[in-house]
Structure 1
Amino acid sequence: MKGGGTTAARTVVTGLGVTAPTGMGVEEYWAATLAGRNGIGRVTRFDPSSYPSRLAGEIHGFAAEKRLPGRLLPQTDRMTQLALVGADWAFDDAGVVPDELAEYDAGVITASHSGGFEFGQNELRALWSKGSQYVSAYQSFAWFYAVNSGQISIRNGLRGPSSVVVSDQAGGLDALAQARRNIRKGTRLVLAGAVDASICPWGWVAQLTSGRLSTDDDPSRAYLPFDDEAGGHVPGEGGCLLVLEDAEHARERGARKVYGEIAGYASTMDPRPGSGRPSGLRRAMELALADAGVTPDGIDVVFADGAAVPELDREEADALVAVFGPGGVPVTVPKTMTGRLYSGAAPLDLAAAFLAIRDDVVPPTIGASLASRYEIDLVTRVPRKATVRRALVLARGQYGFNSAMVVGAADDGDG
């Protein structure tokens, strides 16, 4: 890769398990993304009429009972049910049968933003309305941040290094970075990424406290990053789980496809509000590029965080211009079609980045029109054909989390 590279074990991605408001499965999601199909609409999982924000990116038609054993249903939140199905799809996409892996050769590392809020809400309702004897014993873990890692590892016999990362929207990238570290230490395969789902009254109230949710009722105008009319984001549910492998392990087992390589990563924290110091996002980008051994002109597209909060959009645009120059790289925010999936958003952007590399196309940002004050090259309305060899994915979490990850084509050198 341009600028050299590391001699550490290469980490490649061989499977994707996508669960998104715009499509269940890789190709359904990707076709909808390239078509600019909007998955945002009025909330249907509860009556949102009494709340200031009433739109979300919901997954419709998902029937867990058709995809998972009945015994799992009463002990899992919707978030975990989606994650278990996503894990199944990721393994199938990679051509991996978990039972055939050596006992401690595979682990699972996920991120979580809020845990199983809907499950917790239902059990609290039972407690208040019926009494403690009606609260499920599964409440003790079904709400917990680590439950997706635990349930996936139990279902698939993954006894290698496993954990959970909690860093809001940045968590999905941080989980993948942790998986990459474990692969470099000798673990052969790690399932990593995130799936979030907290579209329920309890989860909704918690999200409203951020002050960052859009209150627009028009799905086509509610989530507008880098737009003069930006007024916050729209929440969503879903995400992506990825099969990460040591490149040699993937070669030895005859992996039928390799989407690409995780080439570089970095994370930083913003200074405290009012300190007068700049955001740490630019530094995260620069460190991730250095970790990948690439210069800014070696990046073909940036999948931006796209907060749609004016001051945050300003910080991100300024950081992009500082690193790449004015209009120096195509920028896109495909999550405008799904809503922000919290910890699941960046792994889904990673899936889109690998598919962009596969198909030499940059997916669009829908709805938004670039404000003249932002000197970035925002890809809007329709996909843009382009040679894509490397992509930079950005994610920012509330309270100052910044993460950046560089991914590249599988045949892009020694990485």
Structure 2
Amino acid sequence: MTMPPVVTGIGTMVGDGAGTEGHWTSVRDGRSWIRPLQRYDASRYRSRLAGQISGFDVAEHLPSRLIPQTDRVTQLALVAGDRALADAGLTDGDYDPFDMGVVTSNASAGWEFTHREFRKLWTQGPEKVSVYESFAWFYAANTGQLSIRNGLRAAGGVLVADQAGGLDAIGQARRNLRRGAGLMVAGGLDSALDPWGWLSHLAGGEVSTAEDASRAYLPFDVAAGGHVPGEGGAMLVLEHGDVRRPFAHRYGVVAGYASTFDPPPGSGRPSNLARAVRLALDDAGAAPADVDVVFADGAGVPERDRSEAASIAEVFGPRRVPVTVPKAGVGRLLAGGGPLDVVTALLSMRDGVIPPTPHSRTIPDEYALDMVLEPREAKVETALVLARGRGGFNSAVVIGR
């Protein structure tokens, strides 16, 4: 492969589930989808706000035979994958099935499915447990079901790296294209908002306890007090930059990618996020001055925000590059957050608008960030997307025209 892979199709599942253009309108306007949990009575939990997909009826999108086999997260992934492939405008004969593959990331697996089946086991007996429990819960279920549904038989994979995993999946898809695949479907989604999954979010100790949805998830704000979990994400179609077929879309290219790992807490050593940024820029053949916007991880936890802000300022200089966290309107999506930011960056590039960080208003001077708090018209040629996972994962992707 002599040119970076081109993003020729994108598909999202987030917010109202309406699709890519609906998502773009929402983030461009700073709309928020964070609201009280609606699927069960969450009054006993210390945190009750989540970024939930509303109005999604799986029966309108997938065959009835697939629904009993799949967890909600796999259903979201299948719909996002369908949308990305349709957007790419593929026709029969464009590729041999063994030239097309899929790489996904998933941080929480099919929790809702398996917790439902465990409840059956405990209350009704083992004979009531679905036979699909043998695989529907597994982290690789999204990759497997996407492969089967769409005949994607080239090298595939699944990565688990919390919030950073979705960018890692895009990086792995890029490697597979370099190794000979013709087309890759890549991205990430997560959904763990059932009662047991919700407790797993709360156990991390970083979920906001705010009652006001407009003040719950405030990346880089002086009032930041944790994040709001969400569900959803995005899938992308990547193809060789060398023209092999007429593309319906050329959204941009995945110009660079890198990942690093932080030292253990208490070691006294700094984060390696800045190193990931430099490595990704080197991989893209770009300099810091070439970057027009940074889509930050934006943990919404003061210590993490301070560390990320220091890394951005270290690479780019104080207030030298616009920084935004549009996903604050849908919550932290674990593996889905990075790919969704990549989609948002591509649309920002297309329309010349940097979407804002909703709700954040007062940024500490010490962060030295040029935060985008209102929609900003700008020519975007190169965008940097960052993602950081609990446990020390750092990933960076450079998107170019």
TM tier, smaller? over 0.9
Written as runs of structure 1 = structure 2, the 5 A alignment for 1:3-402 is: 8-97=2-91, 101-248=95-242, 251-369=243-361, 370-380=363-373, 382-402=374-394
2:94 and 2:245 in contact (8 A); partners too: no
1:123 alignment partner AA: E
Classify the secondary structure of the residue corresponding to 2:43. coil
Question: Runs (4+) of structure 1 moved beyond 6 Å?
Answer: none
The separation in 2 between residues aligned to 1:49 and 1:141, in whole angstroms, is 32
Shift, 1:256, TM fit: 1.4
2:321 alignment partner AA: V
The separation in 2 between residues aligned to 1:46 and 1:270, in whole angstroms, is 37
Q: Give the 3 Å change call, closer, same or farther, for CA 299–110 of structure 1 in structure 2.
A: same
The separation in 1 between residues aligned to 2:313 and 2:44, in whole angstroms, is 41
Classify the secondary structure of the residue corresponding to 2:116. helix
The separation in 1 between residues aligned to 2:330 and 2:345, in whole angstroms, is 16
Shift, 1:8, TM fit: 4.0
1:266 and 1:403 in contact (8 A); partners too: yes
1:388 alignment partner AA: V
The separation in 2 between residues aligned to 1:390 and 1:175, in whole angstroms, is 20
The separation in 1 between residues aligned to 2:324 and 2:100, in whole angstroms, is 33
1:10 and 1:184 in contact (8 A); partners too: no
1:9 and 1:184 in contact (8 A); partners too: no
Task: State the partner residue of 1:3.
Answer: none
Shift, 1:373, TM fit: 2.3
**Unaligned 5+ runs, structure 2:** none
2:364 alignment partner AA: A
The separation in 2 between residues aligned to 1:222 and 1:373, in whole angstroms, is 22
1:209 alignment partner AA: A
| CA deviation string 1:43-85 (max 9, x = no partner) | 0122211111100000011001111100001010111111111
Classify the secondary structure of the residue corresponding to 1:393. strand
The separation in 2 between residues aligned to 1:159 and 1:305, in whole angstroms, is 33
The separation in 2 between residues aligned to 1:351 and 1:75, in whole angstroms, is 29
1:22 and 1:38 in contact (8 A); partners too: no
| CA deviation string 1:146-169 (max 9, x = no partner) | 000000000111110111000000
Shift, 1:23, TM fit: 4.5
Classify the secondary structure of the residue corresponding to 1:44. coil
Classify the secondary structure of the residue corresponding to 1:168. coil
The separation in 1 between residues aligned to 2:97 and 2:231, in whole angstroms, is 32
2:78 alignment partner AA: L
Report how many residues are paired.
400
Shift, 1:364, TM fit: 0.2
**Unaligned 5+ runs, structure 1:** 1-6, 410-415
Shift, 1:21, TM fit: 1.6
What is the identity percentage for the equivalent residue pairs of Structure 1 and Structure 2?
55
The separation in 2 between residues aligned to 1:245 and 1:148, in whole angstroms, is 20
The separation in 2 between residues aligned to 1:99 and 1:206, in whole angstroms, is 45
Classify the secondary structure of the residue corresponding to 1:88. helix
